[in-house]
């Protein structure tokens, strides 16, 4: 959910529906969004079109950009499994700050939402919120 916040910081108008719904087309308001989304979708689906998506992405963001995109797809494949496998709850700050977005995008319908039904909504003492997740 840092897409919206980082997009605002960059002065972008990010379309979260396009970002999360593969049936929708467009760049989601992010530079080279078409290539990034095509690459992420092809990678996660282990699609035969991945080589073309990889080449198209590298053509616009370069090799280092491709590496960053591949790293992002890869680590989130791990994060999903760790989060769902250990049944962690959504952090208090995330639970409250993303409520409207989750509802609008249908994310609350995902099975993993059950883990956070009784989660606390009061911020922890650190008050670092979302930005304290990995720092």
Partner 1 sequence: MGNAEELITAALDDAAESLVGPGDWLTGSQRRAAALEARDARTNELDQQRRDALSPNAVPGGHEATAELQAEAVEVIHRVASDPGRLTQVWADEKMTVLGEETYTELVGIAACTAVLDMFAWTMTGDDSQLGDDTAGSPAKERPDDVGDVGAWVSQTTGTGMANVSRSLSLVPVTNRAWVGLVQALYSRGAEFLDLSWDRALSRPQVELVAARTTAELECFY
**Residues of span 5-24 touching partner 1 by CB under 8 A:** 5-7, 9-10, 12, 14, 16, 19-22
Choose among 87, 110, 85: nearest CA to 98. 110
Q: Is 26 in the site for partner 1 (CB under 8 A)?
A: no
Contacts to partner 1 from residues 87-116, by CB under 8 A: 87-91, 102, 107-108, 110-116
Q: Which residues of 16-39 are buried (b: 16+ CB within 10 A; e: fewer)?
A: bebbeeeeeeebbbbebbbbbbbb
For residue 12, the minimal CB distance to partner 1 (Å) is 6
The reply to whether 55 sits near partner 1 by the rule CB under 8 A is: no
User: What is d(CA 135, CA 73) in angstroms, rounded to the nearest whole number?
Assistant: 19
Give me the least distance between CB of 13 and partner 1, in Å please. Answer: 11
């Amino acid at each position: 959910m840092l897409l919206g916040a980082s997009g605002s910081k960059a002065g972008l108008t990010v379309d979260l529906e396009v970002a999360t719904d593969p049936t929708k087309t467009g760049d989601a308001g992010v530079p080279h969004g078409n290539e990034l989304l095509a690459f992420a979708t092809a990678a996660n689906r282990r699609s035969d079109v991945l080589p073309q998506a990889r080449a198209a992405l590298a053509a616009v963001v370069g090799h280092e950009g491709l590496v960053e995109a591949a790293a992002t797809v890869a680590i989130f494949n791990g994060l999903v499994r760790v989060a769902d496998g250990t049944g962690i709850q959504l952090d208090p700050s995330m639970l409250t700050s993303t409520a409207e977005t989750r509802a609008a995008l249908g994310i609350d319908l995902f099975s993993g939402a059950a883990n956070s039904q009784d989660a606390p909504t009061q911020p922890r003492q650190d008050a670092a919120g979302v930005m304290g997740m990995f720092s």
